[in-house]
Amino acid sequence: MAHNRSLLFLLAAIIGTLIAIVAHPLVPDRELSIVPEPDLDVIFALYGDSVEGGPSHSEWVGPEEDRLWRCRVEEEGTPVYCGMNIILSHDPLKGLDLTAYHAVDLRLHADGHDKKVQFFMRHYDERYSNPDDNNSAQFNKFDFLPGELDGSIHLHFEELNLADWWSRERLLPRELRRPAFHNVIAIGIGYSDAMTPGNYDVKIERISFVGDWISAELWYLSILLFWLAGLMIWALRRLRLLAVKARRQRRSLDLLTNRNESLKEESERYKHLSSRDPLTGAYNRYGFEQRLSELLHSEEFHPLALILLDVDHFKQFNDTYGHDVGDKVLRHLVNLLDRHTRQQDVLCRWGGEEFLLLCPATTVENAACLAEKLRSLIAEEGLKEEDIEISLTASFGVCQLAEGESYVDAFVRADRALYSAKHQGRNRVVPADASQSH
């Protein structure tokens, strides 16, 4: 279900993006109207060269609200200037920032003559403008040829050029010789060519600045940022999901690891129990045979010696003190043997009160010495049980596996030696007769 929702969201985003790509040209333009209904308080100022003795006069034909402007030339003469200023601000130094607009929409009618009509914009910049000189503001203009004023005109700002006369009068760096629009103090229309006597009328029906509410660059950048943000959100969500999944997998792995460890420990415990005598903790016959097999196949532990021992008169302990004391005797004996033998020696409860000690890398002479030491310790320590002191002795049969001799044969020799120790009066160590080995 979540996958289907993601696909639907992706499809909706793609469709929305395609619509947004083609929709920008359809978004209505922002507009700042100057004529006929100005969106700000403007001042219309007419000018001509008659004040300087020239031939041109600038005047309204009819009421000013009709916006029918006339340049009246009385006599032919030198090039005239005649026009109309629309002052955009009452502060001569602070105009309008038109950088949010890219064009001006004009609807002008100039019938009855073949003269060029000029549209201009004046920009004030303190780096080259002088508040005491009206002509110091940057003069950007476009000249309409005869016949170009029929109908509506969409004049882009990039079509405007600096007036030659304004550039020639100033030696400005390159960056200041470009048309600027961030502080436009006035716009206007006018004539600047030599003109024959007569009336030159211009009907002003519309002047409006137009621009995008959001530029195409910002519009498409927003689409790109939307996708980048979407991809980032998707990536973060995927990372979060992967992190959650990884945590779950880690938990599952930890559970499996713990379970495996538990099973391993359980297996080791059962393995230990299966190879140990439950009463004394010494190896049982199965465990002893496993260790014997390992040692027989390793030359490192040769020669191998066997010490077979039996607790003397053990049946009397059970008959006299009970089986509980008999069990304590066996546990005490195993504890003593563990404390006084090596780590690599293998102690096995062979049956009842009989124990078998396998000594790796040990000759029969060394095994006999060890057996004698153990015999002496057993006899010296005995067993103290509450108010009872029990004297213990054990008989030992010792042999060494001869080269080529099987373990069974060696065990038989050790058993015969033990029998001999019992027969000779117990509490003694008897080495097996090597001549009996096969």
Let me know if 353 is a catalytic residue. yes
Round to whole Å and give the CA distance between 309 and 291: 19
Residue 211: Cβ within 10 Å count: 18
Choosing from 31, 74, 159, 353, the catalytic residue is: 353
| Residues catalogued as catalytic | 353
